[in-house]
Every structure is written in C-alpha cells, then in structure tokens.
Amino acid sequence: MTQDAQFKRHTLITITMASFLTPFMGSAVNLAIPSIGEQFNAGAMHLSWVVTSYILASAAFLVPFGRFADIVGRKKVFIAGMIFFTLSSLLCGLAASVEMLIAFRLLQGIGSAMVFGTAMAILTSVFPPQERGKILGINVATVYTGLSLGPVLGGTLNHNLGWPSIFYLCVLIGLAVIIMSLTKLKGEWAGARGESYDITGAVLYSVGLVAFMYGISSITTATWSGYLLIAGLIILAIFIWHEMKTEFPVLNIKLFSRNITFTFSNLAALINYSATSAVGFLLSLYLQVVMGYNSQQAGFILLSQPVLMALLSPFAGKLSDRVQPRVVASWGMTLTTLGLFIFVFLTEQTPIWFVLINLALLGIGFALFSSPNSNAIMGSVEKKFYGIASSTLGTMRLTGQAISMAIATLIMAMFIGHVELNQADVSLLTKSIKTAFIVFAATCLAGIFASLARGNISTGNQFKNKPGGISNSK
C-alpha cells in the first residue's frame, strides 16, 4: 500500500469513527431518560432538556464552526471538537444533578457541531472527486449505524451498567479518535485562510436558529412557543440581510442565490428529513401501544430499516460517481414517498411482515437518497466552501428532525390530546399515525421535484469547480 493510500485509509477510519459517535450519542441517551429521571427525581421538563439541549447546541453552532474551520483549518477544529466532545461526555457521566447534566449536554452539543461540521469537509478535501460519492456513502453508512445501534446498545448499557456507561463508552471511542487524529491526520485544510470571521453573523444565526427550532418543537406544549418561532424567523431574516452586505459572511448567501445545485440539494435534504425523521417515533408507538409489542421487540423490528440504509449507502454513493446524483437521489426520494404512503394503510390487524417489508423499502429509499445528495452538495462548491457546505447539510438534517417531530406531535395532539399514551384510545392513536403518514408522504412527494430541479453536476473524473467560488449546475 502506497503512503498516499495509507493516509487516505487512516483519514477514512478516523472520520467514520467520529461520524458514528455523534449520532450514536444523540439516539442512545433517549433510552436512558427514564433512569436519569429516577436517579435525579427530575420532571418531564428537565428530562426533555437533556435531549433538546444537545440537539439545539449542535444545530446552532454547525454553520459558525464550519465557516471558522474554513478559515483556521478543518483539522484544528475537528480535533478541538473531539477533545471538547470527549471531555464533556466524561462530565455528563459524572454529573451530580439534572441541571449539571443539561449544562454538560450543551457543551457536548457544541463539540458535536465542531466534529460534524468538519468531518465531511475533511473527507472531501482528502479524496479526489472521482472517489467522493463512494467515500461519502461509507461515511453516511456509519452515521446510520450510529443512529441504529444507539437505541439497542444504549438500552443494553443502561439496563446492565447504568446510564453513565453510555457516556463513558463515548469517552473511550473519543480518545481513540483523538489519538488517531493527532498521529495519522497529516497536513491541514483551510480553503478560506486569511479571510475575516463574521462574529455578528454567527451570533444572529445561532440565536435565530435556536429560537426557531425550539419554538417549532414546543408548538404543542407551550403557548408562548409561537412568539418564539416568529422571533426566530425575524432574527434569521435580519441575519440574511446582514450576510448579503458583509464582505466575508459566515454563510455565503450567494451559494443559494447563484448555485441551483447547492440550493435544491439542501432543500431536498430538508424535505427528506422533515418527512422521515418521525417515522421511528410513530412506528414505535404503533408497535407498542397498538400492536402490543414490548420495547425490545419493537426496537429489533425497527432495526430492519437502518441496517439496509447502512449496507446500501456505500453502493449508492459509488453509483452517484457514475450516474448523475440527482437521478439516483430522486429515485431514492420516490421509493421513500411510496413507503410513507403504504404506511397510510396501517390498521390494528396489519401483519408484522407487512411492516418489515415496508421498512426495508424505506431503508433502500433513504440509502439511495442520502449519499448521492451529499455528493451533489459537496461537488457543487469550491474547496474554500467545503466546511460551510458540510455544516449547512448538517443543519438541514437537524432542522428537518425538529420539523418532523413537531408535525407528528401536533397531529397526535389534534386526535388524542395530551393524555397519557396508555390511556389513549387505540383507534384514535392509529388514525393520528395514519394522518401523519399522509402528511409526510405528500411532503416527500414535493421533495422529488426539488431533487430533480437541482440540475446536473460533473461526475467522476470530470468533477471541476468553476472559478469565483461557486460551481453552477450544468
């Protein structure tokens, strides 16, 4: 193996380990919430913040740190983020109160943003264009693996060793990534070195996005959330106005106004995550409350979807190196739309094989969409924007997750109100789940057109970025 091949291999191993860690942390802690509440005698509000604080911090700092990494160096920010994430994970495990745990989860979310906002940018910087789809597919597969193993492994650790063990496992993996980064990642990547950093824009972005996401996620539980949502939109509008007249903006608005591929690829990602992120939540309720399965049985049934996503994502990414990414991604969105529509026909008598087959269909659709869509986004911008492109895609994912859950909880509140799930009318719960799938299928159908509208990009050895910092579709 040549020295260059070894370097690429070590880079891929390092980045994929980190890419596994951050989504694993987000999904694993969900299974430990009841145990955390029992130990600290914490109420529902505090426990919701244990989850929400991590997501909000991750979303708020992704773009600011992505831009910062483009200026000072992506490896520096990546390593700093891993140290920050690992240290805060240790502090989470040692937390003596729920308030301390929430504070440390905020820090953990910031570290996650530093890692997630640079990981894909580093891979895109190291690997040549003709290998980009395959490598991004492998990275997407590890993200899905982290998401799918989170509930299973998190639940097992929590049951046998207690909830702090989840954080301690992340400390061990984090230390391994830090050592690999310091010893194996040679060189540095900073496409915008020497440009000034837009602090005002970073603050406006973070505050506006947090207000928007928290407002929309609390729309069914707090009367004031609507005002917070409106405030967030106003602040984000001010942010856009500020960025358009700033020489070195934290988020180059021209990437959206002049680059059709970048704009519609991110829009497709936002639509896809908005339509699919609550699927696991809805099916978990359906399997346990309606069908009577226990949580372990439901978890293994739901595994069929992310397992296929993880297995097929590298293949889909490699395919998008040879076929236009928009074509592959649009087929993925079409299969996803079909799968969501099929779930509209769920009843209290639906056989479990029907659920499993349709979950497999969704898994194939997700895989065909995600890797090629990531390839299209990273292939549509110049190297100096790799960090910000990676961060923007991550923000679409987190924002889409918040919107998806908001839609699901709003529909459920309309049908069953705010009663305990074990007291809810099963027929009304089933009707609310089916209604949610109607909305999600219609949303995903619109995503097909967004995916197709992005235009073509150069593929394989013909990947070339146009001068001026923006690669327009061809």
Q: pLDDT per residue over 327-355, tens digit each?
A: 888 899 999 999 999 999 988 888 999 99
**242 and 259 belong to one structural domain:** no
Q: Which of 281, 271, 269 is nearest to 305 (CA)?
A: 281
Give Cα separations from 384 to 73, 127, 253, 261, 262 (angstroms): 11, 15, 15, 17, 15
Query: Which of 17-21, 83-87, 281-285, 328-332 is predicted least confidently?
Result: 281-285
Rounded mean pLDDT, 5-24: 85
User: What residue type is assigned to position 398 of the chain?
Assistant: L
Instruction: Find the helix packing angle between 3-28 and 44-72, rounded to 10°.
Output: 160
- Residue 176: its pLDDT value, please? 92
Which domain-ending residue is among 153, 169, 194?
Answer: 194
pLDDT above 60: residue 161? yes
By the 10 Å C-beta count (0-12 exposed, 13-18 middle, 19+ buried), 294 is classed as exposed
In this structure, are 178 and 234 located in the same domain? no
The pair of three-digit structure tokens given for residue 359, joined into one six-digit string? 């979950």
Q: Which two tokens stand for residue 245?
A: 């007249």
Residue 64 CA to residue 208 CA, distance in Å, equals 13
What the block records as the tokens of 173 is 């993996």
Q: Which of 231, 247, 263 delimits the end of a domain?
A: 247
Q: How many structural domains is the chain composed of?
A: 3
Q: CA angle at residue 442 from 437 to 445, to 5 degrees?
A: 125
Residue 206 and residue 121 in one domain: no
Give the span between the Cα atoms of 220 and 239, in whole angstroms. 27
Return d(Cα 40, Cα 22) in angstroms, integer.
Answer: 25
Q: Any residues with CB less than 8 A from the CB of 156 and at least 6 apart, and which? A: none
> Does residue 137 share a domain with residue 99?
yes
* 317 and 435 co-located in one domain: yes
Q: Which residue type is seen at 241?
A: W
Do 290 and 425 have their domain in common? Answer: yes
> Is 343 found in the same domain as 302?
yes
Q: What is the pLDDT of residue 463?
A: 38
pTM of this structure = 0.76
Q: How far apart are CA 92 and CA 455, in angstroms?
A: 45
Give whichever of 246-255, 294-303, 376-385, 428-437 has the largest mean pLDDT.
428-437
Token pair for 335: 């299969």
| Structure confidence at residue 179 as a pLDDT band (50, 70, 90) | very high
219, 347: one domain: no
Q: Please give the Cα distance from 293 to 278 (Å, whole number).
A: 19
Q: Are residues 204 and 342 in the same domain?
A: no
Last residue of a domain, one of 247, 262, 281: 247
pLDDT at 143 over 50: yes
Per the structure, the complete domain to which residue 218 belongs is given by 198-247
DSSP string, 374-399: HHHHHHTB-GGGHHHHHHHHHHHHHH
Residue 445 vs residue 154, higher pLDDT: 445
Instruction: Based on the fold, state whether residues 175 and 237 are members of the same structural domain.
Output: no
What amino acid occupies position 277? S
User: Do both 401 and 367 map to the same domain?
Assistant: yes
Residues 6+ apart with CB under 8 A from 182: 79
- CA atoms of 123 and 304, how far apart (whole Å): 28
> Do 213 and 169 share a structural domain?
no
Q: Which two tokens stand for residue 127?
A: 């690997």
- Average of per-residue pLDDT values in the chain: 81
Task: Compare 226 and 230 and report the one with higher pLDDT.
Answer: 230
